[in-house]
Structure 1
Amino acid sequence: MTYTKKPVPAHTAGVSSILLALLLSACGGGGGGSDATAVSYTPGEVYKVGTTSFDPALPAEPTLPNASQVCATLEASSNLVRRPDGSLPPEADPSKAGVGVAADAALVNPDQSRIQAALDACGAAVDKEVGPAIAAADAAAVAQQTAAAVPNKNIAGVSGEELAKPQYKASKFAVRLIVNSKGVGDSFITGPLTLPSGVTLWIDKGVTVYATRDVKAYAPNLAGPYCGNTAVSSSKAGSSSNCLALINGNNLINSAVVGDGAIDSRGYGEIVTTDKLYPIMKVDLTCSNTYANYAKATQAADGTACDNGGTVVSSKTTARNMSWWDLAYLGNMVQNGATGSGSQSNFRMMVFNYAKNLTLYRVTLNNSANFHVVPSGVDGLTIWGVKVQTPSLAAFANPAGNGNPLYTGATYTKDNVKNTDAFDPGAATSATVVALTTGKTTSSNAKIAFDGYLKNFVFAYNYVSTGDDDIALKGSNNPSPANSNLAAIDGNRDVRSDRKYGMIIAHNHIYWGHGISIGSETNSGITNVEVYDNSFQHSEEGLRIKSDYARGGEVSNINYKNICIRDADNALLFTPYYSTRPLPATGPRVPNFHDIRLENVRIFGDTAVKLQGFQANSGGFALPAYPLIMSLTNVVAENPAAIRMTSSDAQLTIKGVNLPILASAENRIVVNGVATWAVDGDQVLDCSKAFVDFPAIGQSNIFGSGWDK
């Protein structure tokens, strides 16, 4: 059917020349003619975003273990009871801040050892039962791949698809955390845990696992690296790699974190130490000691210059200790802005390197001190039905914050809970052959091959609201052999038989944060990604590809379809000018975004759209031009006048688009097609069920209800 074009509004005074041209095109003006701007729609039912419960393009939904598959069940202690706002009461793990004061380990980290012991025992049992079968399958696969001698291809070993079969899974594989059997006690406090291969950490309904506030748990070595700072010397910034993650997993087969409970890293929590000499920064920017003195087991004198990002040592201050988010804000927004070298040494919630079949299912994740989940080099990564909400109401109820949680006195917003990315999946640094992890200090006898690629990734039915990227595919590492042009992330690589695509982001609800992103690390390439049936509301960004010539690379064949965006700061943001980081020693890396496709996208509210390619000779370097090559089909704003458009160096093919897109010789924009006001969004996509409240999780953000009001 052909839709009858809407009339031009009667009042056009003050409308920009671009928008006026767009309005004229709706009635045949501007040289296009009425035939050129007619909009046709395919007869049939319009897709309704947010209502799909079954998708034949996806593998089967994961499941929770059953009782017979449990290695060990651990009860929450009776004295740890979560408050209705999701936080622990101050008396749960009390501590006294100050120079020369150590927290009681039995109070601030009571559960780490018993949870780890259960994981280790389960890991050993799993390895004994199925380790030989996994090793034999891998050896056979490696022999076959070596004989084939495929050029420019890493040895992958046995595939994750093969290892998903029952013979490679132990009869008992889960460690289950449950509420206290007497009905009092629903929480655990733990330091860093090591997840063994083949083991599932099952956090039961009603249970919350809280991260210990003891900085020493994340930085156990006297000589460093040091955690809980914004600098590790007078000239070197902090780094999250200085800290152990809360959940660590390397070299895994068939591992998972599942359940209807929650993990709260308490990024809002005041940092404490069980070692009275360990340096802690105060909110008045003084510090309790220096790392130089700490390494010698001595206390620095008052007035000594801090080496953790603070000013001077002070034993007289009455200021509270900083929280993890205080450090993040100070390092990123204050010190980095002043010196260009500030950053925070904060622990991440989960870090996984090299895995086949890694699953996160139904669990709720809150308030990470840094990134929530960082999986690298995984064949068969499934994140399904997970909720991430940061900051949660527990953060606003933080007793140390007294209503003004940041050290600056500011209340938490999406702009000041820095570097709390929800999911950052990417490739690993290289291919490897390594023993599987069976416990915190143990490993299997046989070694297993991993090719280092991110493959067979499913991100589906999740709810994400955070202070940074909601999900960002990272092409920063390159596991490809020398002289290979293979992309670090390629959705067409080794696609399994139980799914249609190898890289799928579908059926998700995105709230606060930077939306669905690719980059900023794109230097090793990202290609063949399918993004469909997703909604965004009140997000900083909706759809985003970001890079720069410090981290640039090729991004291609990215397909977005059936997307609803409402009240985003930037509905569409595609730019190769993300930041001005120092260039690598090898020189500039040019971002190249091409074959990007948008189909059936509706945009509601006042928002910005940025479509930029890479201009020749950018930054003063003799660099080639790489225009953004993109097609937009049925991309419709509810009010085109509310779209703030920025575009340059782009080759755009448009049809059924009412965004203010015009060709420009000055800005090097080539447009195939004509933008027109005459597009009916209701004929393109049904967004009536797309925008929903964040699901009630018992500890929601104060903004977590009424999202769609």
Structure 2
Amino acid sequence: MSPRTARRIRVIGIWSLGPAVVLATAATYLLGTPASAAPARAGAAKAAPVLATGDSRSVSEPSVPSTVCATVPAQLTISGRTFSSSQESNPPDTSRIQQKLDSCTGSSGTVAVKLVTSGSANAFLSGPLTVHAGEVLLIDSGATLYGSRNPATYQVSGKPTCGTLAGSEGGCKALIQVSGANAGIEGVQNASGHQGTIDGRGDTAILGGSTTWWQLADQAKAQGLNQQNPRLVEADSSNDFTMYHVNLVDSPNFHVVYKGGNGFTAWGVRIKTPANARNTDGIDPSGATNVTIADSFIQDGDDGIAVKGGSAASNMTIRDDYFWGTHGISIGSETNGGVRNILFENDTLNGVDSSGITSSSDNGIRIKSSPSNGGVVTQVSYLNTCLSGMKAPIVLDTRYSGGSGSSIPSFTDIVINGVLAKSSSSSATSVLNGYNSSHPLGVTLENVRLDVSKSTAEYAQVQTYVSSLMPSGTGVTVTGISGSGSVPSCTFPGYPAL
């Protein structure tokens, strides 16, 4: 970003902000900026923050494999997104697809198992599938893989019964489990921009009852229990995993979880699930390194992105993505393994989904943790972020959900440069909470223009340059700096056709 050009004057003075009293010494005031944006209030000089660089790989747009090892033609059509009772009880395509995936194991290079339409047949109905090393499950444009409604097909041995409520988690396998390096789940995009689809049918009744997967999640919240719902995609320790040009819709639980691997690229992924479908995170890189999520469209009922640090997480780039109705582009709540070098760049968020449903936890930029699972979060940069319809534009919270314990969160070198928020709730409030005076939040706010600038803050060392967000509170110091960049110009497109 090029430095902002402006005339400047030097200002010396004292401001009292309730508990926070700070001295502005030779602060920089940009003439012509809103009064709320300057002058910056200054404390002791701080070291310049370390900017995130993100994924250490050189990442470009993927391509589908040139070699198709096996083709699986569709044999089903569908009406109303359900099949016959016998088909629902015993999903007929599980063994057909898995047999091809198993037979292609060990092929030279990366190969595809391709699901294709056949005449009027365009649907596949399956229980859990395993994608092996060196394989890509490739879904042709116009074809849809539907997840089973029979909870027994997902059951994990020795765990709570899938499709029920329980005090612990882990009763269901994911619809697609990925293991091994150089694997992928991809779609074919046609000239009209339509691409292959995986439908988890979280809005349909669990077989044998009238309760949907999403209603089960709501019941779990009301009763303080855990819903046993399947995720759509889970990749464990799968290095160099790729998701490309695939639609993921209506997952019963998280859409994508990437755990413990080195190298994950998601590009052109379209996730579409309503904002009120509980616990349906978009993409969660967990304890992973070298991740890029780019040019994707994400709508769901929880975090759009949640970088989780239960074990060490590092070197991630989330750029040029669009979000609707989510809980934010987030880090946490697990940070106990440490989170470092995370770059969010050129991302656009709308607090309302494509059907007009407002997110129940309407956040934009978000880092969350607590003493129950806290750790060091450092070198995180949010650059050029566009927000519309937010209740909480910026949330940096070390006391999330009132968690208790001895794992104290520490957020440092957080840079937020370039934010425009419009159409915010009239009560919109940002949160900047460090844990205590020994673990203060360290954040730089540059070129931040919020249409509602209310905030709560404590134990925070804040550096500002052209910011309408000027926090105050116990243990809060605010320092004016000579910054660079500008407030982004923003557009807010509608969700694209699947």
TM-score for the superposition, normalised by structure 1: 0.59
Which segments of 5 or more consecutive residues in structure 2 lack a partner in the other structure?
10-15, 34-54, 188-194, 353-361
Q: Are the structure 2 counterparts of residues 31 and 354 from structure 1 closer, same or farther at C-alpha, using a change threshold of 3 Å?
A: closer
Specify the alignment match of 2:186 in structure 1: 258
Looking at structure 2, the residues matched to 364 and 542 of structure 1 have their Cα atoms a distance apart, in angstroms, of 23
Specify the alignment match of 1:472 in structure 2: 306
Of residues 223, 227, 233, the one that matches 2:162 is: 227
Specify the alignment match of 1:602 in structure 2: 420
Question: Within 5 A, what are the aligned runs for 1:83-232?
Answer: 87-88=80-81, 90=82, 92-94=83-85, 104-105=86-87, 108-124=90-106, 126=107, 129=108, 169-170=109-110, 173-180=111-118, 182=119, 184-219=120-155, 221=157, 224-231=159-166
Q: Indicate yes or no: 2:284 matched with 1:424.
A: yes
Q: Deviations over 1:156-194 (max 9, x none)?
A: xxxxxxxxxxxxx25xx11111111x2x12111100001
For the aligned residue pairs, the C-alpha RMSD in angstroms reads 2.9
Q: Deviations over 1:133-169 (max 9, x none)?
A: xxxxxxxxxxxxxxxxxxxxxxxxxxxxxxxxxxxx2
Verify the 8 A CA contact 2:453 2:468 in the aligned structure 1: no
Looking at structure 1, the residues matched to 285 and 128 of structure 2 have their Cα atoms a distance apart, in angstroms, of 20
Verify the 8 A CA contact 2:160 2:168 in the aligned structure 1: no
Q: Are the structure 2 counterparts of residues 57 and 72 from structure 1 closer, same or farther at C-alpha, using a change threshold of 3 Å?
A: closer
Which segments of 5 or more consecutive residues in structure 1 lack a partner in the other structure?
6-16, 20-29, 42-54, 95-103, 130-168, 232-236, 274-319, 337-341, 392-413, 428-453, 478-487, 492-502, 617-624, 698-709
Specify the alignment match of 1:647 in structure 2: 457
Structure 1 counterpart of 2:61, one-letter code: E
Q: Indicate yes or no: 2:315 matched with 1:324.
A: no
Of residues 473, 488, 495, the one that matches 1:685 is: 488
Verify the 8 A CA contact 1:18 1:660 in the aligned structure 2: no
Q: Indicate yes or no: 2:346 matched with 1:354.
A: no
Looking at structure 2, the residues matched to 475 and 40 of structure 1 have their Cα atoms a distance apart, in angstroms, of 42
SS of 2:162 mapped into structure 1: coil
Q: Deviations over 1:412-463 (max 9, x none)?
A: xx24x21111111112xxxxxxxxxxxxxxxxxxxxxxxxxx2221111111
Q: Are the structure 2 counterparts of residues 542 and 203 from structure 1 closer, same or farther at C-alpha, using a change threshold of 3 Å?
A: same
1:93 deviates by 2.7
Q: Are the structure 2 counterparts of residues 694 and 424 from structure 1 closer, same or farther at C-alpha, using a change threshold of 3 Å?
A: same
Q: Deviations over 1:321-376 (max 9, x none)?
A: 321111111012x101xxxxx11111111111111210000101011111111111
Q: Indicate yes or no: 2:330 matched with 1:545.
A: no
Verify the 8 A CA contact 2:454 2:469 in the aligned structure 1: no
How many residues are matched?
A: 446
1:3 deviates by 6.4
Question: Within 5 A, what are the aligned runs for 1:252-291?
Answer: 252-259=180-187, 260-272=195-207
Looking at structure 1, the residues matched to 32 and 261 of structure 2 have their Cα atoms a distance apart, in angstroms, of 43
Looking at structure 1, the residues matched to 64 and 463 of structure 2 have their Cα atoms a distance apart, in angstroms, of 46
Looking at structure 2, the residues matched to 375 and 248 of structure 1 have their Cα atoms a distance apart, in angstroms, of 10
Looking at structure 2, the residues matched to 194 and 691 of structure 1 have their Cα atoms a distance apart, in angstroms, of 37
Verify the 8 A CA contact 1:108 1:189 in the aligned structure 2: no
Structure 2 counterpart of 1:425, one-letter code: P
Question: Within 5 A, what are the aligned runs for 1:282-681?
Answer: 320-332=209-221, 334-336=222-224, 342-391=225-274, 414-415=275-276, 417-427=277-287, 454-477=288-311, 488-491=312-315, 503-538=316-351, 540-581=362-403, 587-606=405-424, 607-615=428-436, 625-637=438-450, 639=451, 642-662=452-472, 664=473, 667-673=474-480
Q: Are the structure 2 counterparts of residues 425 and 212 from structure 1 closer, same or farther at C-alpha, using a change threshold of 3 Å?
A: same
Specify the alignment match of 1:158 in structure 2: none
Verify the 8 A CA contact 1:37 1:674 in the aligned structure 2: no
Structure 1 counterpart of 2:487, one-letter code: V
1:215 deviates by 1.0
Looking at structure 2, the residues matched to 56 and 489 of structure 1 have their Cα atoms a distance apart, in angstroms, of 13
Looking at structure 1, the residues matched to 8 and 17 of structure 2 have their Cα atoms a distance apart, in angstroms, of 23
Looking at structure 2, the residues matched to 611 and 191 of structure 1 have their Cα atoms a distance apart, in angstroms, of 44
Structure 2 counterpart of 1:205, one-letter code: S
Greater alpha carbon shift after TM alignment, 56-65 vs 600-609: 56-65
Structure 2 counterpart of 1:489, one-letter code: A
1:265 deviates by 0.6
Aligned sequence identity (%): 33
Q: Are the structure 2 counterparts of residues 517 and 31 from structure 1 closer, same or farther at C-alpha, using a change threshold of 3 Å?
A: closer
1:4 deviates by 9.7
Verify the 8 A CA contact 1:354 1:378 in the aligned structure 2: yes
SS of 2:435 mapped into structure 1: coil
Verify the 8 A CA contact 1:108 1:213 in the aligned structure 2: no
Verify the 8 A CA contact 2:160 2:228 in the aligned structure 1: no
1:609 deviates by 1.0
1:605 deviates by 2.5
SS of 1:656 mapped into structure 2: strand
Verify the 8 A CA contact 1:471 1:516 in the aligned structure 2: yes
Looking at structure 2, the residues matched to 659 and 224 of structure 1 have their Cα atoms a distance apart, in angstroms, of 47
Structure 1 counterpart of 2:206, one-letter code: I
Q: Are the structure 2 counterparts of residues 523 and 514 from structure 1 closer, same or farther at C-alpha, using a change threshold of 3 Å?
A: same
1:610 deviates by 0.8
Looking at structure 2, the residues matched to 692 and 321 of structure 1 have their Cα atoms a distance apart, in angstroms, of 36
SS of 2:125 mapped into structure 1: strand
Looking at structure 2, the residues matched to 263 and 2 of structure 1 have their Cα atoms a distance apart, in angstroms, of 51
Specify the alignment match of 1:494 in structure 2: none
1:467 deviates by 0.1
1:674 deviates by 8.8
Verify the 8 A CA contact 1:547 1:577 in the aligned structure 2: yes
Verify the 8 A CA contact 2:56 2:290 in the aligned structure 1: no
- Whose helix fraction is larger, Structure 1's or Structure 2's? 1
Specify the alignment match of 1:63 in structure 2: 63
Q: Indicate yes or no: 2:30 matched with 1:38.
A: yes
Looking at structure 2, the residues matched to 512 and 63 of structure 1 have their Cα atoms a distance apart, in angstroms, of 29
SS of 1:359 mapped into structure 2: strand
Q: Are the structure 2 counterparts of residues 80 and 70 from structure 1 closer, same or farther at C-alpha, using a change threshold of 3 Å?
A: same
Looking at structure 2, the residues matched to 57 and 652 of structure 1 have their Cα atoms a distance apart, in angstroms, of 31
- Whose strand fraction is larger, Structure 1's or Structure 2's? 2
Structure 2 counterpart of 1:2, one-letter code: A
Verify the 8 A CA contact 1:191 1:212 in the aligned structure 2: yes
Structure 2 counterpart of 1:351, one-letter code: E
Specify the alignment match of 1:707 in structure 2: none
Looking at structure 2, the residues matched to 573 and 523 of structure 1 have their Cα atoms a distance apart, in angstroms, of 19
Q: Deviations over 1:654-677 (max 9, x none)?
A: 111122434x4xx111111299xx
Q: Are the structure 2 counterparts of residues 326 and 32 from structure 1 closer, same or farther at C-alpha, using a change threshold of 3 Å?
A: same
Verify the 8 A CA contact 1:490 1:526 in the aligned structure 2: yes
1:643 deviates by 2.5
Looking at structure 2, the residues matched to 672 and 18 of structure 1 have their Cα atoms a distance apart, in angstroms, of 13
Verify the 8 A CA contact 2:27 2:480 in the aligned structure 1: no
Specify the alignment match of 1:242 in structure 2: 171
Specify the alignment match of 2:45 in structure 1: none
Structure 2 counterpart of 1:60, one-letter code: S
Looking at structure 2, the residues matched to 559 and 39 of structure 1 have their Cα atoms a distance apart, in angstroms, of 27
Looking at structure 2, the residues matched to 361 and 510 of structure 1 have their Cα atoms a distance apart, in angstroms, of 17
Q: Deviations over 1:35-72 (max 9, x none)?
A: 8422599xxxxxxxxxxxxx999522100233xx1111
Specify the alignment match of 2:13 in structure 1: none
Looking at structure 2, the residues matched to 472 and 193 of structure 1 have their Cα atoms a distance apart, in angstroms, of 24
1:108 deviates by 5.0
Structure 2 counterpart of 1:529, one-letter code: I
Looking at structure 2, the residues matched to 73 and 598 of structure 1 have their Cα atoms a distance apart, in angstroms, of 47
Q: Are the structure 2 counterparts of residues 631 and 373 from structure 1 closer, same or farther at C-alpha, using a change threshold of 3 Å?
A: same
1:635 deviates by 1.1
Looking at structure 1, the residues matched to 156 and 475 of structure 2 have their Cα atoms a distance apart, in angstroms, of 55
